[in-house]
């Protein structure tokens, strides 16, 4: 039987990647403000690329019925829509909305937590095949997580969180990778169908966040030059996910 120790070490390493946002803690507010929308653009592309090129295809492969992944994708999309509305209503009173971080920032955290949990489950399954296959999977996940975590940090700061708070929340959401590794080690094989449900559900959430929240934030630019620049950064996020898919 595979030892749980390498799974715990690998998933803890994945969780630490969320601290990459510390690179931006020492930038002053003006410099950070200049790059935030670029990080939002990159994150939007990476989320869509992750959903359509990684999570959804994997969910289809895991499912025996071709329509079920799309059903769960729609369920994830609708669940994130309802969750965002709930957060919005919770932050509003009769006199109007209180000044809090934008609702989509909480969706980013939830979506990232689900995604990291899935990464942990996948890593556990990979180590069950062989230690070498597990290491290859860890490298692939790290390459996938680095751009996403940097982008998520930028989105959290842009939405209204302080830099230190954004860094801490991003790390907490990253800890679900460890939980996913533990679940994958002990009960993954006993719960039939859970992995493709989680993959498709997370894909729906990522599509909702990117299309409903992030892209609208970057598409209304008065400067044509900045709009073009944001679009190419968005394409860079998509392209990186496509390259990683090819590498995997």
Residue 92, beta-bridge partner list: 97
Contact 239, 158 (CB under 8 A): no
Contact 202, 116 (CB under 8 A): no
Render pLDDT for 114-160 as a digit per residue (tens, 0 to 9).
Answer: 878 888 887 887 787 678 767 767 776 776 677 667 777 777 887 78
Lowest model confidence (mean pLDDT) among 14-23, 27-36, 72-81, 178-187: 27-36
pLDDT at 74: 95
Number of helices (H), then strands (E), belonging to the chain: the values are 11, 2
Q: Sort strands 96-97 and 92-93 into parallel, antiparallel or unpaired.
A: antiparallel
For 97-104, the CB contacts below 8 A with 24+ separation are: 99/160, 100/160, 101/156, 101/159, 101/160, 101/161, 102/159, 102/160, 102/213, 104/155, 104/159, 104/209, 104/212, 104/213, 104/214
Dist CA 139 CA 1 (whole Å) = 23
Q: Supply the mean pLDDT for the chain.
A: 78
Dist CA 162 CA 34 (whole Å) = 16
Closest CA to 22 of 170, 161, 134: 170
Domain chopping of the chain, boundaries: 5-18+29-247
């Amino acid at each position: 039987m595979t030892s749980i120790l390498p799974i715990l070490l690998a998933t803890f390493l994945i969780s630490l990647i969320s601290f990459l946002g510390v690179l931006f803690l020492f930038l002053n507010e003006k410099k950070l403000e200049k790059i935030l929308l670029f990080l939002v653009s990159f994150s939007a592309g990476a989320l869509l690329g992750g959903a359509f090129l990684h999570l959804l295809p994997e969910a289809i492969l895991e499912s025996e019925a071709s329509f079920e992944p799309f059903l769960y994708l729609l369920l994830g999309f609708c669940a994130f829509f309802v969750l965002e509305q709930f957060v919005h209503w919770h932050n509003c009173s009769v006199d109007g909305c209180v000044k809090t971080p934008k609702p989509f920032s909480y969706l980013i955290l939830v979506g990232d937590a689900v995604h990291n949990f899935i990464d942990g489950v996948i890593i556990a399954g990979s180590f069950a095949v062989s230690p070498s296959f597990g290491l290859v999977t860890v490298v692939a996940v790290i390459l996938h997580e680095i751009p996403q975590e940097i982008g998520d940090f930028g989105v959290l700061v842009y939405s209204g969180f302080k830099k230190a708070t954004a860094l801490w929340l991003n790390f907490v959401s990253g800890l679900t990778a460890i939980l996913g590794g533990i679940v994958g080690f002990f009960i993954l094989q006993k719960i039939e169908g859970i992995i493709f449900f989680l993959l498709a559900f997370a894909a729906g959430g990522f599509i909702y966040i990117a299309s409903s929240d992030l892209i609208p934030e970057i598409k209304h630019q008065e400067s044509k030059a900045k709009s073009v620049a944001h679009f190419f950064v968005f394409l860079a996020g998509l392209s990186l996910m496509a390259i990683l898919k090819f590498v995997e």
